Structure formats: C-alpha cells, structure tokens
Amino acid sequence: MRIAILTPTFFRFSGPDRVVKNEAEEHVAKGNKVTVFTFKGDIKAKNYNVVELWMPSNATLERIYRLLFFLDFFKIIKTAKMLKEYDEVVSFLYPMTIIASTARKYYKKKYVYYNVGVAYPKLFNLFERTYMNFFNILTNLSVKNADSAISISDFLRKELLRETGLDSTVKHVKVDSKEYNTNLDKKKIQAIVKKHKLKKPVILFVGRLSPHKGVHLLLKAFNIIKKEIDATLVIVGKPTFDKYSKKLMKLSKNHRDSVVFTGFVSDEDLPYYFGACDLYATATLWEGFDIPTVQAQMCGKKVVAFDVGSHPEVVKKGILVKDGDVKGFADAVKRMLKS
C-alpha cells in the first residue's frame, strides 16, 4: 500500500509529531510505501519520504496561516491532487484534515483521522483561548467525513465521539523498551548528573514549556517541597511561549541552584535523564496520552501527576492527585521521596 501521512509540523520536540514518526516507521516495517506531508519539520526520515509544503517562518504569521488555511484553496487542491496516487490518507491535526477531507471528497481516497487531541482552550490566556476555540471548531468540521479514526487514548476517543459523533479505535503510543528500561548505562546516567551538578533526590519533568503543561504549578509545588526536602527539579523541554517561559523563570528565582532548565534534549540522551531521577512529576492540566510518564515507568520510576486526561490509563505506578491541588501534589511528591 501507498500511505500518505499528513501533519502540520514534524519536529523532534513535539509529542504529536513523534506519534507521526512512530506511525510512519510502523507502516514502513509492514512493507508499505510512506510519504509524510508537512508544512515544516526537522525529523530525519527512515525509509520513507517527507514533503514540505511551506508556511510563513514568522511565529505569529505561521499561527494565522494555519488557522486560516481553509482560505488557501490553491494549496488545498494542489496537495489533494498529490494524494491521488495513494491508497490511504492518514491525517493528524487541523489544518491537514482539510486536505484529507478534500482528497476523500474529490478523489475517493480513504481518509483516516488520527486523533492526538488538542488541549482545552480554557487552559490558555484570552488570545490563545479564542484561537484554539476556532481551531477546535474547524477540526471538528473537517473530520466528520473521515472513513475511520484512531485515538491515542480512550479519553480522546470519548472526547472525539462527544464532539463529532465519530467513534474511533484506541491505539496507545508505543515506547521502545530498548531505549527506556531499568538497565540503562550507569556511566551515561552519571554523566547527566555531573553535567547538571544534580543533588539528590532529583525530580524530573519532560515536556514542552506550554501553559497547559502546568510547569508553573510544578514550580509552586516545588517551593513547598523545598521547605522539607532539599531536592533538585530538572525541567526538560523546549520553550514554546516566550511570556510563559519568563513567568517560569520568575517562579524559580528563589531556587536557582535547585531548578535546572535543560531546554530540548536529544533522543540519544533523554533516557539517561529518567535514569538520573528519583521521581517523575508532571503537573500538566491536559494530556491526550503523555509519553514521558510511560517512559519514566519503563525506566522504573514512579510518577506523581494530576488525575486528568489520559493519566488514569497510563499512570500505573504512582499517585494521581486532584486536578489543580498544588498542596496535595507537593504532599504526594514528599511522600514518594521519603518512601
């Protein structure tokens, strides 16, 4: 089979984009020919093709272009025509769903919607909230004619069914046990400890620095934890909102020696950050799946997280705390570290 996979971006730092990468590699392993169509990205393809469709490089213009993509009739039709030679079109996220929907309508292509979810608009500021509300409306309109759908959690399956009436098959994200396990190279773990001068116990978080990831709540909880336990908090992830990143720096100013912001970490090094920590903690307020919590548990680490989204499905070793309860979150971390 010839399979086209559509995704707005194809970047290493993005969880949804990593799901795209996994899906492409899985199809290739089954003997299918795969092409990923994206606006832009930096993931290196293995035995499949990547076609970049372009969008503005300016961050603000990029977001406007993505939201109003339905007005770019020329590119929609042009790309849909490119899909005529494929047997199946798999679309991740709006606005690629418009292209897939168009290919189905005019060229009878099988359209599969791959549901990785979109964080609740209420978790963002007014401007972001308005943007994401429109984003969700346009997503729902462009997936209703999909032939089938796949959701990465039962939580997202229920959300999609409620919002569009489209049911889906649940397919949890696979994490490579060869990379994430309890037998990681101790020398490489020590290299991470030495590089960041980590003082135990170490609490780890991995994820984009975005408001819905709740890193601000994690830092507030850490301020409570520090009153009893001299711990180190390591925050791994790419800053994606400038104002939010500045807010995080202010929240951590009293513990400059105890809070480590690493920025983006490569796939090669990431497992050893899990190996170097004593506990994985995430105060994220929405998750469609949450790959890092699975990676942490595969490395033998317990997890403290809010009881939101897909967490009841994926957190098997740890504690789930009531949504937004910072003190309860801090208390759970303290209990885990003391035990």
Tokens 């993005």 found at: 14
pTM of the model as a whole? 0.93
State the sign of the Cα–Cα–Cα–Cα dihedral 96, 108, 171, 42. negative
> CATH for 2-170?
3.40.50.2000
pLDDT of residue 25: 96
Same fold, 2-170 and 186-338: yes
Query: Which among 317, 312, 320, 328 has a CA at the least distance from the CA of 295?
Result: 317
pLDDT of residue 116: 97
CB 56 within 8 A of CB 62: yes
Question: CATH number of 186-338: 3.20.20.70, 3.40.350.10, 3.40.50.2000, 3.30.200.20?
Answer: 3.40.50.2000
* 3-class state of residue 122 by DSSP: helix
Query: Which among 26, 62, 63 has a CA at the least distance from the CA of 46?
Result: 26
- How do the pLDDT tens digits run along the chain, 339 residues long? 999 999 999 999 899 999 999 999 999 999 999 999 999 999 999 899 999 999 998 988 999 999 999 999 999 999 999 999 999 999 999 999 999 999 999 999 999 999 999 999 999 888 889 999 999 999 999 999 999 999 999 999 999 999 999 999 999 999 999 999 999 999 999 999 999 999 999 999 999 999 999 999 999 999 999 999 999 999 999 998 888 999 999 989 888 889 999 999 999 999 999 999 999 999 999 999 999 999 999 999 999 999 999 999 999 999 999 999 999 999 999 999 998
pLDDT of residue 311: 98
pLDDT of residue 59: 86
Domain boundaries in the chain? 2-170, 186-338
Query: Which among 109, 60, 99 has a CA at the least distance from the CA of 76?
Result: 99
For residue 196, the one-letter residue type is H
Report the residue count for the chain.
339
CB 89 within 8 A of CB 60: no
